[in-house]
Amino acid sequence: MSTQVELLNPILGAAAAVIAGTIDELPAKGQISLLNQSVTSQQVNVIVRGAGQISGIVMVGMSFITADRIASQMLDQAIKSFDQYAASAIAELVSRVGLQARSLLQECGIACEFSSPAVIKGTRVELPDLCIPAIVVPLATSLGEIHLTVGLRKLAMASAA
């Protein structure tokens, strides 16, 4: 669990910075909790997989309404029903989070990469790569609540000779 906490701060910092830069509002961090099952809990879930010195996934989840509101702001047009344009915009947001998180983790001496984002619609979808227990941080914005789930672990690496 302490490994996940070590990985959480850079990822949370990246998510807060990217969200703030996207919607011109710093999200408010809510009560941190643990997710003890490897399933989605939100209507829209965007997942990036960690590789390198880390393994597992980072998931950004939200309701369809929140996703539509964020996508509307990103695309500068009204999105009223979660469609391919909204999915693409939210995936781009999470891709930016992954890029920023990679930079922040590398500053901490953790070499890693994040995959391209995958959008999953629906609750209770099984996520086999999620390290349990995962840390969930709600991020409140005026557009709705965003759940950042960090289910990563640091891998033991062989020492270089």
pLDDT in tens, 3-55: 577 899 999 999 999 999 999 999 999 999 999 999 999 999 999 999 999 99
Q: Provide the whole-model pTM.
A: 0.93
Domain definitions of the chain by residue range: 2-154
DSSP percent split of the chain into helix, strand, coil, nearest 5: 35, 30, 30
Residue type, 141: T
CA torsion angle 141 142 144 150 (round to 10)? -10
- Span 18-28, pLDDT tens digits: 999 999 999 99
56, β-bridge pairs? 50, 152
Fold of the domain built from segment(s) 2-154? Chemotaxis protein chec (3.40.1550)
